[in-house]
């Protein structure tokens, strides 16, 4: 009888140890999965966001739309003597006028603020409009300002569309934007923008539009 009690006690201890080990392994597995998922999402954000060095250019190009202070970098570069001119991609008269007013208030001379000749509806349109305008001006280098999640695709498209123009293209993400590589996935719009950027990138690779 005593041996049976001891065997039963040993069985219960062994069973508890197995449950405890299973719990620990399960917990560690969840942590590992969470870490891998987090690092994967951060990597996606890191790929989508690119930023070239700030350098002397002939003009800063502010792309249409987006959040954050799109002109902040352009105005700062102008004040530092790194960019004498500003180019705005043509969307609507209201948006163009607003950006021109803000640029003038930030220090750009009125005669150094330009709007592209062609109205744009996509990043490809913007790249082609900017190429045509920059070539007419005889410029050799441009700094393109856009949203962080849009920066990788913008650089890819602009450099491809301008690859035979001898114009150097640099990309900088907009100042004060909420889309960051380490936190974008905590917001629903982060998922939407990231998904759209990936789809549009492959659409451009396939259809050039």
Which residues have CB under 8 Å from 96's CB, separation 6+? Answer: 88, 90, 115
* pLDDT digits 0-9 by tens, 9-49: 555 557 777 777 877 888 888 889 999 999 999 999 999 99
> For the whole model, what pTM was predicted?
0.85
Per residue in 78-106, pLDDT (tens digit) is 999 999 999 999 888 888 888 899 999 99
Domains of the chain: 59-207 (3.40.50)
Confidence of residue 69 (pLDDT cuts 50, 70, 90): confident
The interaxial angle of helices 188-207 and 123-137, nearest 10 deg, is 70
Phi-psi group of 107: left, alpha or beta (phi > 0 → left; psi -120 to 50 → alpha; rest → beta):
left
């Amino acid at each position: 009888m005593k041996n049976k009690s001891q065997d039963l006690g040993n069985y219960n201890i062994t069973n508890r140890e197995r449950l405890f080990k299973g719990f620990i392994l399960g917990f560690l597995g969840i942590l590992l999965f969470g870490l891998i998922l987090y690092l994967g999402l951060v990597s996606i954000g890191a790929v989508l966001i690119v930023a070239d060095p700030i350098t002397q250019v002939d003009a800063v190009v502010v792309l249409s739309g987006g959040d954050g202070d799109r002109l902040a970098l352009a105005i700062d570069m102008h004040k530092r003597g790194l960019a004498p001119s500003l180019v705005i991609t043509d969307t609507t008269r209201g948006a163009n006028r607003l950006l021109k007013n803000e640029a003038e208030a930030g220090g750009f001379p009125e005669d150094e603020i330009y709007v592209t000749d062609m109205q744009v509806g996509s990043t490809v349109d913007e790249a082609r409009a900017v190429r045509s305008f920059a070539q007419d001006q005889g410029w050799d280098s441009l700094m393109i300002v856009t949203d962080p999640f849009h920066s990788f695709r913008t650089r890819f498209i602009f450099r491809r569309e301008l690859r035979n123009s001898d114009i150097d293209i640099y990309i900088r993400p907009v100042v004060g934007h909420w889309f960051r590589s380490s936190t974008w996935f905590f917001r629903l719009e982060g998922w939407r923008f990231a998904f759209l950027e990936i789809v549009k990138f492959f659409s451009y690779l396939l259809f050039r539009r």
